[in-house]
Amino acid sequence: MKGKLIIVSGPSGSGKSTVTKLVKDRLNIPLSISATTRQPRTGEINGKDYFFLTKEIFEQKIKNDEFYEYANVHGNYYGTLKEVVENNLSKGLNVILEIDVQGALIAKEKKKDAILVFFRTKDMETLENRLRNRKTDTEEVIQLRLKNAAKELEYEPKYDYTIINNDIKHSCQELIDIINS
Protein backbone atom coordinates (compact mmCIF):
# COMPACT_ATOMS: atom_id res chain seq x y z
CA MET A 1 0.00 0.00 0.00
CA LYS A 2 1.30 3.41 -0.96
CA GLY A 3 1.73 6.16 1.60
CA LYS A 4 0.01 9.55 1.48
CA LEU A 5 1.61 12.88 0.66
CA ILE A 6 0.36 15.53 3.06
CA ILE A 7 1.31 19.12 2.23
CA VAL A 8 1.09 21.63 5.07
CA SER A 9 1.16 25.41 4.54
CA GLY A 10 0.10 28.55 6.32
CA PRO A 11 1.29 31.93 7.51
CA SER A 12 4.35 32.35 9.68
CA GLY A 13 3.13 32.14 13.28
CA SER A 14 0.20 29.83 12.52
CA GLY A 15 1.87 26.99 14.43
CA LYS A 16 2.26 24.69 11.42
CA SER A 17 5.91 23.85 12.17
CA THR A 18 5.25 23.01 15.81
CA VAL A 19 2.22 20.83 15.04
CA THR A 20 3.88 19.15 12.05
CA LYS A 21 6.96 18.24 14.09
CA LEU A 22 4.86 16.81 16.94
CA VAL A 23 2.71 14.78 14.53
CA LYS A 24 5.76 13.48 12.63
CA ASP A 25 7.30 12.34 15.92
CA ARG A 26 4.05 10.81 17.17
CA LEU A 27 3.32 8.91 13.96
CA ASN A 28 7.00 8.23 13.19
CA ILE A 29 6.71 9.89 9.77
CA PRO A 30 10.06 10.44 8.06
CA LEU A 31 11.17 13.99 7.50
CA SER A 32 11.24 14.91 3.84
CA ILE A 33 14.56 16.61 3.20
CA SER A 34 14.59 19.57 0.82
CA ALA A 35 17.35 20.43 -1.62
CA THR A 36 18.98 23.85 -1.59
CA THR A 37 21.79 25.78 -3.22
CA ARG A 38 22.56 27.82 -0.10
CA GLN A 39 25.70 27.08 1.86
CA PRO A 40 25.33 24.78 4.89
CA ARG A 41 25.08 26.55 8.23
CA THR A 42 27.26 25.43 11.12
CA GLY A 43 26.29 21.92 12.17
CA GLU A 44 24.08 21.20 9.15
CA ILE A 45 24.73 17.87 7.46
CA ASN A 46 24.21 17.08 3.76
CA GLY A 47 21.48 14.45 3.41
CA LYS A 48 20.20 15.06 6.96
CA ASP A 49 19.26 18.75 7.11
CA TYR A 50 19.21 19.46 3.36
CA PHE A 51 20.63 18.09 0.16
CA PHE A 52 23.17 20.81 -0.60
CA LEU A 53 23.49 21.15 -4.38
CA THR A 54 25.39 23.49 -6.66
CA LYS A 55 23.31 25.96 -8.65
CA GLU A 56 24.25 24.09 -11.84
CA ILE A 57 23.10 20.70 -10.52
CA PHE A 58 19.89 22.21 -9.12
CA GLU A 59 19.08 23.88 -12.44
CA GLN A 60 19.78 20.61 -14.29
CA LYS A 61 17.30 18.85 -11.97
CA ILE A 62 14.75 21.58 -12.77
CA LYS A 63 15.24 20.92 -16.50
CA ASN A 64 14.83 17.17 -15.86
CA ASP A 65 11.54 17.81 -13.94
CA GLU A 66 12.96 16.17 -10.80
CA PHE A 67 11.18 18.50 -8.34
CA TYR A 68 7.59 18.56 -7.10
CA GLU A 69 8.15 22.22 -6.46
CA TYR A 70 11.01 24.66 -6.10
CA ALA A 71 11.51 28.34 -5.48
CA ASN A 72 14.27 30.88 -5.57
CA VAL A 73 14.32 32.53 -2.14
CA HIS A 74 16.77 35.36 -1.49
CA GLY A 75 19.03 34.18 -4.31
CA ASN A 76 19.08 30.50 -3.34
CA TYR A 77 17.00 27.65 -4.70
CA TYR A 78 14.97 25.39 -2.42
CA GLY A 79 12.97 22.41 -3.66
CA THR A 80 11.32 19.07 -2.96
CA LEU A 81 12.87 16.22 -4.91
CA LYS A 82 10.30 13.79 -6.36
CA GLU A 83 12.67 10.83 -5.90
CA VAL A 84 12.98 11.37 -2.13
CA VAL A 85 9.20 11.64 -1.63
CA GLU A 86 8.32 8.77 -3.99
CA ASN A 87 10.89 6.49 -2.33
CA ASN A 88 9.11 6.88 1.04
CA LEU A 89 5.59 6.71 -0.44
CA SER A 90 6.42 3.47 -2.29
CA LYS A 91 7.47 1.93 1.05
CA GLY A 92 3.95 2.68 2.35
CA LEU A 93 5.19 5.58 4.45
CA ASN A 94 3.25 8.83 4.74
CA VAL A 95 5.21 11.99 3.94
CA ILE A 96 4.51 15.47 5.27
CA LEU A 97 5.87 18.45 3.37
CA GLU A 98 5.79 21.84 5.02
CA ILE A 99 6.07 24.31 2.14
CA ASP A 100 4.75 27.71 1.08
CA VAL A 101 1.35 28.12 -0.56
CA GLN A 102 2.63 28.59 -4.12
CA GLY A 103 4.85 25.50 -3.83
CA ALA A 104 1.96 23.50 -2.40
CA LEU A 105 -0.27 24.24 -5.38
CA ILE A 106 2.51 23.41 -7.83
CA ALA A 107 3.19 20.12 -6.01
CA LYS A 108 -0.55 19.29 -6.07
CA GLU A 109 -0.53 19.74 -9.86
CA LYS A 110 2.21 17.12 -10.13
CA LYS A 111 0.84 14.81 -7.42
CA LYS A 112 -2.95 14.93 -7.78
CA ASP A 113 -3.66 12.71 -4.76
CA ALA A 114 -1.64 14.93 -2.39
CA ILE A 115 -3.65 16.21 0.58
CA LEU A 116 -3.38 19.97 1.17
CA VAL A 117 -3.75 21.19 4.78
CA PHE A 118 -3.85 24.91 5.55
CA PHE A 119 -2.93 26.19 9.02
CA ARG A 120 -4.15 29.51 10.34
CA THR A 121 -5.02 31.34 13.54
CA LYS A 122 -8.58 32.38 14.36
CA ASP A 123 -7.77 36.00 13.37
CA MET A 124 -4.95 38.36 12.42
CA GLU A 125 -4.73 39.76 15.96
CA THR A 126 -3.85 36.30 17.30
CA LEU A 127 -1.27 35.86 14.55
CA GLU A 128 0.31 39.23 15.30
CA ASN A 129 0.46 38.42 19.03
CA ARG A 130 2.22 35.12 18.30
CA LEU A 131 4.77 36.79 16.03
CA ARG A 132 5.47 39.46 18.66
CA ASN A 133 5.68 36.95 21.52
CA ARG A 134 8.40 34.99 19.69
CA LYS A 135 10.66 38.00 20.23
CA THR A 136 12.81 36.86 17.29
CA ASP A 137 11.90 39.43 14.63
CA THR A 138 12.27 43.17 14.17
CA GLU A 139 9.16 45.33 13.76
CA GLU A 140 9.93 45.52 10.04
CA VAL A 141 10.01 41.71 9.75
CA ILE A 142 6.79 41.35 11.77
CA GLN A 143 5.01 43.80 9.44
CA LEU A 144 6.33 41.91 6.40
CA ARG A 145 5.15 38.58 7.84
CA LEU A 146 1.68 40.05 8.52
CA LYS A 147 1.49 41.42 4.97
CA ASN A 148 2.54 38.02 3.59
CA ALA A 149 -0.01 36.28 5.86
CA ALA A 150 -2.83 38.33 4.35
CA LYS A 151 -1.75 37.16 0.86
CA GLU A 152 -1.36 33.53 1.99
CA LEU A 153 -4.86 33.48 3.48
CA GLU A 154 -6.23 34.06 -0.04
CA TYR A 155 -5.02 30.54 -0.94
CA GLU A 156 -6.97 28.81 1.86
CA PRO A 157 -10.02 27.91 -0.32
CA LYS A 158 -7.72 25.90 -2.62
CA TYR A 159 -6.82 23.54 0.25
CA ASP A 160 -8.54 20.27 1.13
CA TYR A 161 -8.55 20.99 4.88
CA THR A 162 -8.08 23.96 7.20
CA ILE A 163 -6.85 23.68 10.76
CA ILE A 164 -7.54 26.75 12.88
CA ASN A 165 -4.73 26.38 15.38
CA ASN A 166 -6.04 27.66 18.71
CA ASP A 167 -4.70 24.73 20.73
CA ILE A 168 -1.63 22.68 19.79
CA LYS A 169 -2.93 19.40 21.25
CA HIS A 170 -6.25 19.73 19.40
CA SER A 171 -4.51 20.77 16.16
CA CYS A 172 -2.17 17.76 16.39
CA GLN A 173 -5.18 15.47 16.73
CA GLU A 174 -6.89 17.17 13.76
CA LEU A 175 -3.82 16.61 11.56
CA ILE A 176 -3.54 12.98 12.74
CA ASP A 177 -7.24 12.45 11.90
CA ILE A 178 -6.69 13.90 8.41
CA ILE A 179 -3.69 11.62 7.82
CA ASN A 180 -5.58 8.55 9.08
CA SER A 181 -8.78 9.26 7.14
Would you say residue 111 has pLDDT above 80? yes
Coil, helix or strand at residue 164: strand
Q: How many CA atoms lie within 13 A of 29 on its CB side?
A: 26
Single pTM value for the model:
0.87
Q: What is the pLDDT of residue 75?
A: 83
Is 11 annotated as ligand-binding? Answer: yes
CB atoms within 10 A of CB 5: 23
What CATH number is associated with residue 107?
A: 3.40.50.300
State how many domains the chain has.
Answer: 1
What's the pLDDT score for residue 154? 96
**Does 9 belong to an annotated binding site?**
no
Instruction: Kindly report, residue by residue over 146-169, the tens digit of the pLDDT.
Output: 999 999 999 999 999 999 999 999
pLDDT at 41 over 90: no
Annotated ligand binding at 47? The verdict is no
Residue 14 labelled as part of a binding site: yes
The mean pLDDT value for 67-74 works out to 86
